[in-house]
């Protein structure tokens, strides 16, 4: 068996049980089960039906009907939404097993506060867990932010590495800023794309056609950003100082849809700041753009 990115399996096959098992938990469990990284133990979720469904997705393990049936394991993964992590951890009060959660905004210390006595950690995969099959196929190469006790990370980092994860450590006190960054580049991209589709609608273009139009545009833009960085990859009217066009577009949007106009203005102001990192924007054009977009010199 080969382990990409230098990952190696834990020294011995440990048993992992799941408290909560949504999309991320099912993908991770499936990959660990398939690779023989962990032995899948028990799965406890909000209902017996969802637990059984999670076990089917993972390919192994035992679905529980209630917390009363929860037995010992070497590792416990709390794969619940962030707001339910503390409640799930309460079922493990006094446990000396390794326990970790996947929350990007919460520190592992939360688990210690709920009464767990073993090593704790948090590991947040920077991956959009949407479609199960696609996530299983694409997880290889995913960066995973880690923090917590050394005794937990000594087991968990190799386990993530064994399924293609690329682990790095993060300061627990700065997780909110870290998570906010991911929200902006991932979730907010969805909202911005939806706003663009709405703007195409103002031009008389139906949503199906608009979605087809933006697909190559999004792919090319993201590839250029990844390859060259946000500033160097920037194109469009603000990058070339075309304040007349920006002024006309903003006025049109204000007439047709003031909410979209405000998105255009706010994002335009941020884009102008980005364009300012380059040396090819005329200072006079920059000043005019700033006045149009409502920012100072």
The pLDDT of residue 11 is 58
pLDDT of residue 277: 81
Low-confidence ranges of the chain (pLDDT < 50): 1-10
- Please state which CATH class domain 4-170 belongs to: alpha beta
83-123 tens-digit pLDDT: 999 999 999 999 999 999 999 999 999 999 999 999 999 99
What's the Cα-to-Cα distance from 102 to each of 64, 80, 189, 196, 215, rounded to whole Å?
A: 21, 8, 22, 32, 30
The correct answer on CATH 3.40.50.720 for the domain covering 177-293 is no
Q: Where are the domains of the chain?
A: 4-170, 177-293
pTM, entire model: 0.81
Size of the chain, expressed as the number of residues it contains? 297
Q: How far apart are CA 104 and CA 94, in angstroms?
A: 25
Whole-number Å distance between alpha carbons of 198 and 172 = 39
Given this model, what pLDDT does residue 296 score?
67
What's residue 6's pLDDT?
A: 37
How far is Cα of residue 131 from the mean position of the Cα atoms in its chain? 14
């Amino acid at each position: 068996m080969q382990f990409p990115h230098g990952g190696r399996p834990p020294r011995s096959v440990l048993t992992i049980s799941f408290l909560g098992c949504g999309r991320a938990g099912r993908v991770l469990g499936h990959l660990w089960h398939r690779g023989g990284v962990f032995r899948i133990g028990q799965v406890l979720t909000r209902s017996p039906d969802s637990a059984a469904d999670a076990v089917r997705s993972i390919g192994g393990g035992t679905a529980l009907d209630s917390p009363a049936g929860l037995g010992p394991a070497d590792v416990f993964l709390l794969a619940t939404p962030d707001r339910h992590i503390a409640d799930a951890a309460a079922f493990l009060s006094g446990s000396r097993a390794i326990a970790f959660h996947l929350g990007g905004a919460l520190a592992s210390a939360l688990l210690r506060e709920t009464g767990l006595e073993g090593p704790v950690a948090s590991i947040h995969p920077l991956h959009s867990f949407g479609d199960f099959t696609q996530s299983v196929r694409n997880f290889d190469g995913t960066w995973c932010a880690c923090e917590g006790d050394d005794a937990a990370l000594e087991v968990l980092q190799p386990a993530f590495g064994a399924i293609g994860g690329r682990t790095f450590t993060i300061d627990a006190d700065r997780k909110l800023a870290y998570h906010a960054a991911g929200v902006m580049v991932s979730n907010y991209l969805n909202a911005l794309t939806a706003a663009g589709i709405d703007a195409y609608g103002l031009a008389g273009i139906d949503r199906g056609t608009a979605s087809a139009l933006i697909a190559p545009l999004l792919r090319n833009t993201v590839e250029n950003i990844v390859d060259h960085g946000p500033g160097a990859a920037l194109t469009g009217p603000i990058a070339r100082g075309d304040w007349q066009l920006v002024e006309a577009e903003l006025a049109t949007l204000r007439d047709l849809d003031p909410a979209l106009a405000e998105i255009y203005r706010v994002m335009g102001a941020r884009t102008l700041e980005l364009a300012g990192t380059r040396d090819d924007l005329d200072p006079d054009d920059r000043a005019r753009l700033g006045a149009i977009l409502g920012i100072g010199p």
